[in-house]
Amino acid sequence: MRVRDLEVGYGDKTVLSQVSLDIYKGCITALIGPSGCGKTSFLSTLNRLTDHSDARLAGQILFDGQDLLRDPVDTLGLRRRIGMIFQRPNPFPLSIRRNLELPLKEHGIRDRQVRYRKIEKVLKDVGLWEEVSDRLDASALALSGGQQQRLCIARALVLEPEVLLMDEPCSALDPISSGIVEELILRLRGRYTVVIVTHNLAQARRVANYAGFFWMTERVGKLIEFGLCRHLFEAPRHALTAAYVSGARG
């Protein structure tokens, strides 16, 4: 995915400008920066979730030869290829099985046996199968927060997306559940392209191959620095990045 000169605004207020970066296949890219500098807005443009707000977008987002901001886009198809996980786990108030069946049905998988095989596989992938295989018809809302978040990740993965966008996926979880979800994210590396927004700098360092640092200048979010995660944390090129990752600012 290639983002060039992206600008995002709401009404007449520009919240993000001049953002250019490449998102590499099979890698984890972490986006860090203080609250309000536009990280979530950036993430939401990548699968056009911004269509649901009054966001104004300019620039280019190139994905598989298509400019997502200019070319006609089938948003349902796009969101199958680019899934999203939110800060708070948001399972449907249905059974564990139905949470995974619904998206499969919505995307035309009619054969029940095929659906069941996919559901078992994805629950094994997210490490939930052992915990829930004997209660697939119980409510997803009865799961713990961490289990709910893994179910939501399973719900995105069951559609076999190419890219997974994660907006602070661990911040509403207790430390143990957060650790389990983080391990899962690490296991996705190489198989999926992941873009994760996190306020947890240690987590960004542990999981990401690439990292981008956002900051507000004159009330507009900018991408200050982007590169290999190791370089951004250990040898930042920009003084602001150095101050933020060292904890001196932010």
For ligand ATP, the binding residues (CB under 6 A) are 10, 15, 35-41, 53
Write down the least CB distance from residue 15 to ligand ATP, Å: 4
The least distance separating ligand ATP from the CB of residue 201, rounded to whole angstroms, comes to 13
CB of 35 to ligand ATP, least distance (A): 3
Chain centre to alpha carbon of residue 144? 21
Structure tokens belonging to residue 103: 């998206």
Nearer to ligand ATP, 10 or 24 (CB): 10
Please say which residue, 36 or 93, places its beta carbon nearer to ligand ATP: 36
Q: How far is the CB of 135 from ligand ATP (least distance, A)?
A: 34
- Where b means 16+ CB within 10 Å and e means fewer, 184-217 reads bbeebeeebbbbbbbebbebbbebbbbbbbbbbe
**Residue 39 or 150: which CB sits closer to ligand ATP?**
39
53 vs 217, beta carbon nearer ligand ATP = 53
